[in-house]
Amino acid sequence: MSARLTLIIMGVAGSGKSTVGQLLATKLGYPFVEGDDFHSIEAKALMASGTPLTSTLRQQWVDRLAAMLADTTAQGQPCVLSYSGLIASQRQQLRQAGQHIRFIYLQGPAEVLAMRLAERSGHYMPASLLQSQLDSMQSSSGETDVQPFSIDQPVKLLIQQILLWLTFAADLPSDNP
């Protein structure tokens, strides 16, 4: 049964986490949690100025996300969370903080990501930080609960693929089922 899985939508900036996450949450009837909302004002200002997060600011951010997931999943409340998931140990932190978690990894060519960031407006994250995000993204190879999906297709098709995968995702192995 996949109905109660909490889904973390991961990927670098511009991969579509917020767009896909919101639509998926609506389809599933789950709350959508925007990971960016858990950044401090200082962290957002730093990124807006064109500087990547420091490890300390990133860790404080992940700690807040972990606390939220521990709370909601302990109450049996699933959600869809957008979170870049760049650092493997921090993915593990979230996996262990919550229950019944699976990761949906939005992946695509750098040119597509750059184009989408260039066209996006009203977001603090500048397109110039894409390369640092790509450089920081640590491989998820061997993480059996991380499922990649291609972003190089219309959102509608992407959602259909994710919903299909969700019909069996709960039966796939996970480090922390």
Ligand X SMILES: O=C(O)[C@H](O)[C@@H](O)[C@H](O)[C@H](O)COP(=O)(O)O
Interface pick for ligand X out of 7, 23, 68, 86 (rule CB under 6 A): 86
138-177 binders of ligand X (CB under 6 A): none
Full 3-state SS string of 104-143 = EEEECCHHHHHHHHHHCCCCCCCHHHHHHHHHHCCCCCCC
CA 166 to chain centroid: 16
**In the complex with ligand X, which residue's Cβ is closer, 86 or 162?**
86
Contact flag: residue 13 with ligand X (CB under 6 A): yes
CB of 148 to ligand X, least distance (A): 17
Pick from ligand ADP, ligand X, none: which does 47 bind, CB < 5 to 8 A by kind? Answer: ligand X
Q: Any contact of residue 131 with ligand X (CB under 6 A)?
A: no
Residue number, 39 or 102, with CB nearest to ligand X: 39
Residue from 3, 6, 2, 10 nearest 100 by CA: 6
8-state DSSP, 17? H
- The distance of closest approach from Cβ of residue 15 to ligand ADP in the complex, given in angstroms and rounded to an integer, is 4
Tell the smallest beta-carbon distance from residue 143 to ligand X (Å): 17
The candidate with the shortest Cα–Cα distance to 39, out of 48, 30, 26, is 48
